[in-house]
Homo-oligomer: A and B are copies of this chain.
Amino acid sequence: MSYTDLNTSLRTIMTPGPVEVDPRVLRAMSTPIIGQFDPEFLTIMNDTMDLSRYAFQTTNQRAFPINGTSRAGIEAVLCSIIEPGDKVLIPIFGRFGYLLTEIAGRCGADVHTMEKEWGEVFDPEEIQAEIKKVNPKIVTVVHGETSTGRLQPLKELGNFCRENDVLFVVDAVATLGGVEVKTDDWNIDAVIAGTQKCIGSPSGMAPITYNDRVEKILLERKKIERGLSSDSVNERSIQSNYLDLSQIQDYWTSDRLNHHTEATSMLYALRESLRLIKEEGLETRIERHKFHEGALVAGLQAMGVELFGTAEHKMPVVTIIKVPEGVDEASVRSTMIQQFGVEIAGAFGPLQGKVWRIGSMGYSCRKNNILRVIGALEATLIYHGVKVNRGDALQAALEFYVDK
């Protein structure tokens, strides 16, 4: 068997991740390797921490990436702070809320859940009432649920948790870098982001940040590993070695106490992505995501397809449309990618087969791509026998762009 040179097609990726990556970020990854103890590497690590703080809108000392995909970041935070029997309250409004229960449960947490129908979010007061009832050590919630396209308001909840001395952990994997996430202002104790969505880096790293309230627990649970110290014992030590934040945070200091070998090229990519965020400006970037959402929604409405869910809590970076009656959703996606080279996403759980999810995140969130996905979708729907308002969608989007 022979293996050809890597010959991938050039795609227009309009899913909720992974999305297209800025050519500057791709180029950064082709930079030759330097060693993990090279003095120049410390500068790259420090830059990445500074730039992460900017993206997280925090003054936390701790802001660095976990070497793994987004759920590695979530597990690192949860397994480092949850001890067996700890009460954890998880409000669920889509697939990734269940993931939080899965991870917390495997850490030995006493998991309490509350659920909303897919498509809705929680009124902060509902969660506050449950906190009073359950009295959890930790509340953890998804900010932007890509499975339903909904955005959970966090500010009031953060204030309430802080006042009641509850740790507040937020999965901002799908929002950070494209939607407002104010770590400090909203009193969030730990935030997990994802690289392959609004940050616009490839999948494989998970930037996180956490404050002194979290660090206090880490220091209490710290156990230096054998091989570096022979006499460190801690009965409360963290159940994972790879995802042990008490060790990883020491690697991210000038001591650089060896834990793993930092993923060099991925760090190059993340630094460049964060630098792009800084150059664009976080506010401008968040506005850009809202702006292109406007064009996409205008186009889809003019086409005559039905949007899923109400506008009030819609994620600006995910737009979900209902699959028209009698249409096979998978074959529409197949036509779009095979004929037009445009990728949109299907769905999970109760929405599987019923909706398509269109992402407009990071570098993929730009005028060309919005117009391409609208055009490809219209032609594909017509090809699959769906009745739409022919030609209206792109005109509506163009008018939106020309007007603004």
Q: Is A75 an interface residue when CB atoms closer than 8 A count as contact?
A: yes
Chain A: interface residue total (CB-CB under 8 A): 87
Instruction: Judge whether A32 and B51 touch: CB under 8 Å.
Output: no
Q: Is A64 an interface residue when CB atoms closer than 8 A count as contact?
A: no
Known: A67-B72, A227-B96, A242-B72. A26 touches B30 (CB 8 A): yes
Instruction: Judge whether A240 and B240 touch: CB under 8 Å.
Output: yes
Determine the chain B residues whose CB is within 8 A of the CB of A17 once the complex forms. 261
Determine the chain B residues whose CB is within 8 A of the CB of A62 once the complex forms. none
Instruction: Judge whether A13 and B35 touch: CB under 8 Å.
Output: yes
Interface of A is mostly: loop
Q: Which of A34, A79, A237 has the most CB of B within 10 A?
A: A34
Known: A69-B67, A226-B102, A337-B39. A204 touches B265 (CB 8 A): yes
A98 to B231, CA, bound (A): 12
Residue of B nearest to A27 (CB): B30
Instruction: Judge whether A266 and B337 touch: CB under 8 Å.
Output: no
A-B contact pairs, 29 of them (CB 8 A): A3-B271, A3-B275, A6-B28, A6-B44, A9-B34, A11-B33, A13-B33, A18-B36, A18-B264, A19-B33, A21-B32, A21-B33, A21-B265, A29-B30, A39-B337, A67-B68, A67-B72, A72-B242, A72-B260, A97-B227, A99-B225, A101-B226, A202-B266, A203-B260, A203-B261, A203-B264, A227-B348, A265-B266, A265-B269
